[in-house]
């Protein structure tokens, strides 16, 4: 497994304790809404492909469910090493370790962390990344068929929450921030890389988008 010490301080926010809580929730009630919709769309054929690159994979639950749904291999990339042990345990318990690769690091800064894949997923990732345009450009370049992503809606009250998270980040001495980016800016990056929006769903504070290569 590749690893590197990234400067953003994500390991102070996304810790092994967070990973254990996420795993307990997953074992208890399965995927949360947006990742589950990705699996549903995969089963329905709207998202297609044998290989998956899961960016900001966390405990790797989306990847495991996509493998169960028919994918052949998942590469999981995350900035924080705090998820690694829990993710490995979940994959082993599911009997899927041989079909999962994992790398720790910043994909935007180190595109070589992962090989191209049919489907690239970024679930609630761009809101936690300082330069989402750069990350999405790299993700799009790695996608043979689809980029699937979710991001917070651009509302005044979420922008207010984002400002609060910035203050909390300074107090915790980490450069991690929650950010709300204009939807048009995010989608424009993918469009420049040859991807077209084929599905958009809104539920709660997040939007789920499927983009497809022509």
CATH number at residue 129: 3.40.50.150
Query: Rounded to an integer, what distance in angstroms lies between the CA atom of residue 56 and that of residue 106?
Result: 9
Q: What pLDDT score does 143 carry?
A: 98
Residue 159 lies in a domain: no
Number of structural domains found in the chain:
1
Report yes or no: 209 and 199 within 8 Å, Cβ to Cβ. yes
Spatial CB neighbours of 66, under 8 Å, sequence gap ≥ 6? 38, 39, 42, 52, 74, 119
pLDDT per residue, tens digit, the chain (214 aa), is 333 334 455 666 667 888 899 999 999 999 999 999 999 999 999 999 999 999 999 999 999 999 999 999 999 999 889 999 999 999 999 999 999 999 999 999 998 989 999 999 999 999 888 789 999 999 999 999 999 999 997 765 566 655 655 555 554 555 556 677 889 999 999 999 999 999 999 978 899 999 999 8
Query: Rounded to an integer, what distance in angstroms lies between the CA atom of residue 52 and that of residue 121?
Result: 7
Query: Rounded to an integer, what distance in angstroms lies between the CA atom of residue 41 and that of residue 28?
Result: 23
Query: Rounded to an integer, what distance in angstroms lies between the CA atom of residue 140 and that of residue 214?
Result: 13
Q: What pLDDT score does 205 carry?
A: 87
pTM (global) more than 0.75: yes
Range of the domain at 35: 10-153+182-213
Residue 139 lies in a domain: yes
């Amino acid at each position: 497994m590749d690893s590197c010490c990234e400067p953003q301080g994500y390991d102070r926010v996304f810790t092994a304790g967070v990973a254990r809580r996420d795993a307990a929730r997953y074992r208890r009630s399965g995927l949360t809404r947006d990742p589950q919709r990705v699996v549903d769309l995969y089963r329905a054929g709207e998202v297609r492909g044998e290989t998956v690159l899961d960016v900001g994979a966390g405990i790797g639950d989306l990847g495991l469910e996509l493998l169960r749904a028919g994918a052949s291999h998942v590469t999981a990339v995350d900035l924080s090493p705090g998820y690694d042990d829990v993710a490995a345990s979940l994959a082993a318990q599911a009997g899927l370790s041989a079909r999962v690769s994992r790398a720790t690091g910043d994909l935007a800064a180190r595109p070589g962390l992962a090989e191209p894949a049919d489907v690239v997923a970024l679930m609630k990732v761009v809101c936690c990344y300082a330069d989402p345009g750069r990350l999405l450009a790299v993700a799009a370049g790695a996608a043979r068929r689809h980029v699937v992503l979710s991001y917070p809606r651009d509302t005044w009250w979420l922008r207010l929450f984002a400002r609060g998270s910035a203050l909390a980040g300074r107090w915790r001495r980490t450069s991690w921030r929650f950010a709300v980016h204009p939807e048009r800016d995010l989608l424009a990056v993918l469009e420049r890389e040859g991807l077209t929006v084929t599905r958009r769903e809104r539920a709660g504070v997040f939007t789920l988008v499927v983009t497809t290569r022509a």
